[in-house]
Structure 1
Amino acid sequence: MLERPVISNHTSRNGSPLRPAFSSTASLFKPDSAGLGDDVHPIIHEGRVAVITGAASGIGRAAALELAKLKLKIAIADVDEARLLKVGKDVAAIVGDANVLVVPTDVSKLDQVVHLKEKVFELWGESQYLVACNVKTIFLISQCISNSPIMILIFVQVAVLMNNAGIGLTGTSWDGINNWKTIFDVNLFGILNVQQTFVPSMLHQENQGMIINTGSKQGITNPPGNAAYNASKAAVKSLTESLAHELREKPNSNVTAHLFIPGWTYTNLTGAFTHAEKPAGAWTAEETVLYMLDKVRAGDFYVLVPDNETRRELDELRIMWAAGDIAEGRPALSRWHKDYKALFEEYVRDGMAGVGAGSERSF
C-alpha cells in the first residue's frame, strides 16, 4: 500500500444584563488617517491572491481597491457584470491588468463558484509534482520517480477569501417565501458554496490564508422589520463561528476565519446605488474596509464596526441587552417592547455615562 504522498459576574440595576468591559480605544479609530502599510497583516503581502465576492460596488469594491494598493492579485466576482467590469478597470489601474481577474458569478449557483475557482487557478496556479511512492522501501528519489505515478497538483496561494455577496430583500415570518429562499440562497448558501469550493485547497497551501465573511449587526440584535434578512445574517454568524473553531482545531491549519460586521455604511443597499447623498451618520465603504483590515491585523474574530452615529460602546450595550433577553427571561426583542422601552433607554444612558456624547440619543 502506498504511503501518504510526499511533496519534494455583576448585573446592573433594574435587571439590566451584564455590562461589557469598554475598551478605551474602541471608538478612537480614525479612518481618514488609517493608511495601510506593508505590515497590515502577515498574510497580506505582494503577490498573494485575494478572492472577493460581491465586488461590483460598496464594501466589496472598496476591499478590492485597498488590497490592490497592497499589491495583491485581485479576483473579483459579482452577479452585476457591467459594474464588475468597471471595478476591474479601477483595480487594474492600481496593480496592472495581469494582476486582476474579473469573473461574473452568481454565488448562489455552485457551478458558477466552481468556475470562479477554476479561473483563479488557471491564471495564477503554481504546479507542484506529487510523487506517490512508498517511502519505507525507496532509497533513491530517482528510483521513486521512475517506478511511481506522478501527479501534477495546481496550487494558488489564496491570502484572502472574502465572502461579501449579499442581498437585502424583505420577508416577514409568515409571508414572502420566495424572497426568503432567494435571500438564503445568496446570503448563506452563497458563502457555503464559496467555502466548500475554496477552503479544501486553502488548507493544503503552504502560506497562511484567511476567510472574511460579511455579516450584519441585524443578525445579532435582530431588529424588527426584516425577519428574512436578519435570519440569513444570524446564520452567517453561526456558520462563521463554527468555521473559525473547526479551522482552529484542525492540525497544521494555516487558515483563520473572521466575522466582518459593518456599521452604517453608504453602499448600494443604503443609498449609493440611487446616488443619494451620504448621510452624516454613515461611514463610506472605504472607511469601513480600512477599519476591518486594522482589526484583522490585530487578530480579531468579531470585527464590529462603528460609524459616525453609533459608537462601538453603544453596539456592545445593544448586544448585551439582546443576550439578556434570554438570560433574564424577558420577552423576545424586549428592546422594542412597550413594557421594556424605558428600562432599555435607562440602561443605555447608564452604560454610556462618561463614555462621551454623540450616541446616547440613538437607542
Structure 2
Amino acid sequence: MAPTVAITGSASGIGAAIAKLYAGKGYNLVLADSSALLSKTTAALQALFPSTPILARETDVTQASELVALKDAALAKFPSLDVVVLNAGTSGNYKMPAEQGGWWGNPDAIRKLYDVNLFGVVNGIHAFLPTLREQAKTETKTTRIIVTGSKQGITNPPGNPVYNSSKAAIRLLAEQLSYELKDESVKVHLLVPGWTYTGLVGGEPGLYSEDVQGKTKPSGAWSPDEVANYLEAGIAKENFFIICPDNETSEEVDKIRMEWSCGDFVTPRLPLSRWRPEYKEEFAKFQAEKLGK
C-alpha cells in the first residue's frame, strides 16, 4: 500500500518541488492550491511519474472547511494519509504606500496575510491532525506534519513586520505541537528555507527549470528542488528545525545571526540590533570571532 502525502501551496515553488520529491519516493499525491498553476503542475508531475495517483483540488487555506473537505477527499481516494505539508503562504507584497501609513495603515492587508500564512497552518492542523494521530496509533506507523516557516520568523529583519510575525507565530505553534505530540508517533518538522528562487521573490515556478520565461535563478539562491532535498535529509535525521542554507549564506553564518538575535533578549541592546547602526561594529566583531577570523 503506497503512502500518501498532502501538500498545500503545491502549484509552484517549494510545494511543487516537495511533491516531485515524494512522487519519486512512491507516494500518492494530494495537491492543493488556489493558483491556476495547479493544473499545469499536476500535468507536469503526472508526465514525470505516470504511475503516481494524483488528487489535485483547488483549495482556499483560509477556510477551515475547505481543508476538511480536502482531507475527506484524500481519504476517499487513498487508503492512508501519512504526511501533510502545510506550505501555502504569501509574502505580502501588497503594501500600502508610506504616506498612507504603510502596513499600519492597511489592517485589511494584515488580516489577509495572517489568514493565509497563519490560519492556513491552523486550519491545516485542525483538518489533518486527528487523522494523522489515529493512523499513527492504529496502524503503528509514523505520520508527519511539515510546516513551512521562514528565517524572517526567527531573526525578524526590518521591512516586512507582518510577514515576519506571521512566520514567527507559525514557528511557535509548530514548537508547541511538537511538544504536545512528544509521546506519539506523529512527528512535526519546521522547514525554514533560505533564499529560494520562487514566485514569492520574483522567480517563476521552479518545477522544471532554473530558467523559465527568460528569468534565470540568481547564483546566490537555492532552487526549490534543493530545499526539498534538504528537507528529506532533515527528516531522515528526525530534526524538528530544518533550517536551509543557500548559496550566499552558510549554516554557520545562519547560526551566528540567530545567536546574536537571541542575545537581544538578554542584553541591554535595542531590538533588531543587528540592523541598527550603533551596533554595526559590535555585531561585525561578534561574527568575526565566531567565524574564527
Please say whether Structure 1 and Structure 2 have the same fold, judged by a TM-score greater than 0.5: yes
Structure 1 residue 98, shift from structure 2 partner: 6.1
Structure 1 residue 61, shift from structure 2 partner: 0.3
Matched, 1:297 2:236: yes
Matched, 1:262 2:201: no
Matched, 1:337 2:276: yes
Which position in structure 2 is the counterpart of 1:41?
A: none
Matches within 5 A, 1:107-186: 107-125=61-79, 156=80, 158-170=81-93, 174-186=104-116
Q: For residues 93 and 50 of structure 1, what CA distance do their matches in structure 2 show?
A: 18
Specify the SS of the correspondent of 2:30: strand
Kept after mapping to 1: 8 A contact 2:12/2:37: yes
Q: For residues 175 and 240 of structure 1, what CA distance do their matches in structure 2 show?
A: 30
Which residue identity does 1:72 align to in structure 2? Answer: Y
Kept after mapping to 2: 8 A contact 1:212/1:260: yes
Q: For residues 54 and 120 of structure 1, what CA distance do their matches in structure 2 show?
A: 16
Correspondent of 2:151 among 217, 224, 238: 217
Larger Rg: 1
Deviations 1:131-177 (A, max 9, x none): xxxxxxxxxxxxxxxxxxxxxxxxx2x22100000001155562221
Structure 1 residue 271, shift from structure 2 partner: 2.1
Aligned length: 274
Which position in structure 1 is the counterpart of 2:54?
A: 100
Q: For residues 95 and 248 of structure 1, what CA distance do their matches in structure 2 show?
A: 35
Q: For residues 320 and 98 of structure 1, what CA distance do their matches in structure 2 show?
A: 43
Specify the SS of the correspondent of 1:166: coil
Matched, 1:79 2:34: yes
Q: For residues 57 and 199 of structure 1, what CA distance do their matches in structure 2 show?
A: 25
Q: For residues 318 and 209 of structure 1, what CA distance do their matches in structure 2 show?
A: 32
1:262–1:280: structure 2 CA closer, same or farther, 3 Å change rule? same
Q: Report the identity percentage.
A: 38
Deviations 1:7-64 (A, max 9, x none): xxxxxxxxxxxxxxxxxxxxxxxxxxxxxxxxxxxxxxx7000000000000000000
Kept after mapping to 1: 8 A contact 2:64/2:126: no
Moved over 4 A (4+): 170-173
Q: For residues 94 and 169 of structure 1, what CA distance do their matches in structure 2 show?
A: 32
Which residue identity does 1:262 align to in structure 2? Answer: P
Correspondent of 1:271 among 195, 202, 222: 202
Q: For residues 168 and 275 of structure 1, what CA distance do their matches in structure 2 show?
A: 23
Which residue identity does 1:167 align to in structure 2? Answer: T
Q: For residues 292 and 228 of structure 2, what CA distance do their matches in structure 1 show?
A: 29
Matched, 1:89 2:43: yes
Deviations 1:203-225 (A, max 9, x none): 11112111100000000000000
1:202–1:275: structure 2 CA closer, same or farther, 3 Å change rule? farther
Which residue identity does 2:21 align to in structure 1? Answer: E
Q: For residues 203 and 185 of structure 2, what CA distance do their matches in structure 1 show?
A: 37
Kept after mapping to 2: 8 A contact 1:260/1:303: yes
TM-score for the superposition, normalised by structure 2: 0.90
Q: For residues 228 and 317 of structure 1, what CA distance do their matches in structure 2 show?
A: 24
Which residue identity does 2:90 align to in structure 1? Answer: I
Kept after mapping to 2: 8 A contact 1:55/1:77: yes
Specify the SS of the correspondent of 1:216: coil
Structure 1 residue 353, shift from structure 2 partner: 2.4
TM-score for the superposition, normalised by structure 1: 0.73
Structure 1 residue 97, shift from structure 2 partner: 6.2
Kept after mapping to 1: 8 A contact 2:26/2:52: no
Structure 1 residue runs without a partner (length 5+)? 1-45, 126-155, 355-363
Which residue identity does 2:254 align to in structure 1? Answer: D
Which residue identity does 1:346 align to in structure 2? Answer: K
Q: For residues 95 and 267 of structure 1, what CA distance do their matches in structure 2 show?
A: 23
Kept after mapping to 1: 8 A contact 2:23/2:52: no
> CA RMSD of the aligned region, Å?
1.5
**Where is the helix percentage greater, Structure 1 or Structure 2?**
2
Q: For residues 154 and 215 of structure 2, what CA distance do their matches in structure 1 show?
A: 28
Kept after mapping to 1: 8 A contact 2:91/2:200: yes
Correspondent of 1:282 among 221, 241, 262: 221
Correspondent of 1:232 among 163, 166, 176: 166
1:268–1:110: structure 2 CA closer, same or farther, 3 Å change rule? same
Structure 1 residue 337, shift from structure 2 partner: 1.2
Structure 1 residue 121, shift from structure 2 partner: 1.2
Matched, 1:67 2:22: yes
Q: For residues 242 and 83 of structure 2, what CA distance do their matches in structure 1 show?
A: 15
